[in-house]
Amino acid sequence: MAFHPDGWSTGNDTGRRVPGRRVPVAGRRPSRATEVQEAVKDIILRRGLVAGDPLPTESELMEELGIGRNSVREALKVLQAVGIVDIRHGFGMFVGRMSLAGFVDELAFHSRMTMQDERNHLGHLIEIREVLESGLVLRLIDSLDSGDLPAQLAPIRDVIEQMRAEAAVGAISPETDRLFHDLLYRPLRNPLVGQLLGAFWQVYHELRDDLGTPDESPADVARTHRDIYRAVLTGDRAAATEAMREHFAGVRSRLARLARG
Amino acid sequence: MAFHPDGWSTGNDTGRRVPGRRVPVAGRRPSRATEVQEAVKDIILRRGLVAGDPLPTESELMEELGIGRNSVREALKVLQAVGIVDIRHGFGMFVGRMSLAGFVDELAFHSRMTMQDERNHLGHLIEIREVLESGLVLRLIDSLDSGDLPAQLAPIRDVIEQMRAEAAVGAISPETDRLFHDLLYRPLRNPLVGQLLGAFWQVYHELRDDLGTPDESPADVARTHRDIYRAVLTGDRAAATEAMREHFAGVRSRLARLARG
DNA sequence: CTGCGGACATTGGACGTCCCACATCCCATG
DNA sequence: CATGGGATGTGGGACGTCCAATGTCCGCAG
């Protein structure tokens, strides 16, 4: 992985770098791409840019840093992969919004890779998601203004209704499921929660097809989600914990069957 | 090996497009780099490779896919950034181990970027970490074999001792703190927990210097960690929850002060 | 026989250049 | 006044070439 050794900053490179000129000095190697990455991050931080702000063009970067275009491009691609910059073909580069897309890729890939063996990455991921959601739902109950709960939870109620409707005519769409878990924790006002859970959710659903058919019916799924909603509505912490456990029971059994078969 | 520029018959469609002519084909643009990424992932999955296994060389990839070296390299750099492949100069490429390094980069960067404003990424991150650890410690209590608790928790006890010793002579080293949070949940046998928590921990400690001085003394820190250990040892769920809350109280106050200042 | 050093092959790293694709803006043309 | 077609600027793709790092292996010295 890319290490960024500290003690390099002093000493040798004070200023411009002549393209084509190689420094034969025996020392560590802050690869060109790494240099560019650090430089771009530095520019963003130093200039106090925010997500969406325009960044220097490729040409400007190659000139300012005295580095070839390919290296610049490699670095930018990496920064794009980790969601730090946003590249738009024919338009320019911009400070990126946090997307966790790279995180999803990594988790999804390694989960798929270890699906059949004992390490079972996906199972571990689900366990973490369960722990997280179980804790979050309690925090949600604590944080809700007890004044007008139904109004605050109205969006959730709508999703539950939608879910029930879909279950009645067939299967619950992934989008509806995702929407539930996204909306539920929104009152916590912690956008990272939504993003992280979204990432977990996405990994699960990318690999869902590789798992067998679910043990529970769509109606069961709708019911467990409704139970979570009701527990939050009534502020019943124990019921919320139990409902969350129920919700993940189906997932667990599906995974367990995979491990056996 | 000599390269024959007489044209390549392999699936490289260099069909000319007339400038100014809009291609009516529905807009799908699988960029070269993306193609290579998918191809490499596919190779790993299809051949059932595991972490550490060797991958085709750059030259082999460019030939097999009929794609230029730069594109191949860009793709591989990205895959390296998200921890899917591991590139070792002068040796070869290998299937990567999960590292979450890209995730850490993304979180650390966006946290630093939003440090001064209201969005306060870091605070949200800490909140998630607290929820996670609070839930995990309860799960840990449930999962421990009640037979020989002291033996199972011996490593933790040693770290606590180390922590106390360090606190007595000055400051607790980050490594010791990290070791505690890493070892504590090891009995859960969920390696992802360690990695995810490690990522959170690393983000926090990368930005720690930008926060002010801590409110609590090293002795306080050692004490809160000891309380967590004791709660697990005695299986006291309420005490564990409280100890975890205490543990994060210092972090929270530090963050709050930043928001005010 | 042992071990150490250096040649060699292999593999990644970097660069410059050329051309393509895409987006935007402006101006000419109807 | 509306519109379509450059002109321009930006990223995307590819190629060829050279450089540097790493591992292997063989031969020479002890």
State the burial class of residue B239 (Cβ atoms within 10 Å of its Cβ: 0-12, 13-18, 19+). Answer: middle
A81 touches chain B (CB under 8 A): yes
pLDDT number for residue B229: 97
pLDDT number for residue A261: 56
Q: Which residues of A touch B100 (CB under 8 A)?
A: 103, 106
Domain locations in chain A? 6-95, 102-260
Chain A stretch 199-238, residues whose beta carbon is closer than 8 A to a beta carbon of chain B: none
pLDDT in tens, A184-215: 999 999 999 999 999 999 999 999 888 877 78
Rg, C-alpha atoms of chain B? 25
Span A50-56, mean pLDDT?
A: 93
State the burial class of residue B102 (Cβ atoms within 10 Å of its Cβ: 0-12, 13-18, 19+). Answer: buried
CB half-sphere exposure, A229, CA atoms < 13 A: 24
Residue A244 in this model has a pLDDT that exceeds 90:
yes
Q: Which of A18-32, A49-63, B78-92, B105-119 has the lowest mean pLDDT?
A: A18-32
Q: Look at the alpha carbons of A160, A161, A162, A167 in this order and tell me if their dihedral is positive or negative.
A: positive
Per CA to C1' distance, which residue is closest to C10? B90
DSSP codes joined into one string, A180-232 = HHHHHTGGG--HHHHHHHHHHHHHHHHHGGGS---SS-HHHHHHHHHHHHHHH
Does the B32-95 domain belong in CATH 2.130.10.10? no
How far A120 CA lies from chain B's nearest CA (Å)? 9
The closest CB to that of B105, out of A82, A107, A191, belongs to A82
pLDDT in tens, B71-114: 888 899 899 999 999 988 888 899 999 999 999 999 999 999 99
Residue A116 in this model has a pLDDT that exceeds 80:
no
pLDDT number for residue A149: 86
Does residue B250 or residue B178 have the better pLDDT? B178
pLDDT in tens, B128-147: 999 999 999 999 999 987 77
Span B118-131, mean pLDDT?
A: 92
* pTM (global) more than 0.85: yes
Q: Which residues of A touch B127 (CB under 8 A)?
A: 190, 192-193
Residue from A106, A134, A184, A200 to probe the interface with B (highest B Cβ count within 10 Å): A106
* Topology adopted by domain A6-95: Arc Repressor Mutant, subunit A (1.10.10)
Q: Which CATH architecture has domain A102-260?
A: Up-down Bundle (1.20)
- For strand C, the positions having any atom within 7 A of a protein Cβ are 9-18, 20-24
pLDDT in tens, A65-89: 888 888 898 899 999 999 999 999 8
Does residue B241 or residue A24 have the better pLDDT? B241
Residue B215 in this model has a pLDDT that exceeds 60:
yes
pLDDT in tens, B40-51: 999 999 999 999
Span A230-238, mean pLDDT?
A: 95
A113 touches chain B (CB under 8 A): yes
- Binned at pLDDT 50, 70 and 90, residue A216 comes out as confident
Q: Which of A44-53, B126-135, B206-215 has the lowest mean pLDDT?
A: B206-215
Residue from A78, A138, A207, A210 to probe the interface with B (highest B Cβ count within 10 Å): A78
Q: Look at the alpha carbons of A120, A124, A125, A129 in this order and tell me if their dihedral is positive or negative.
A: positive
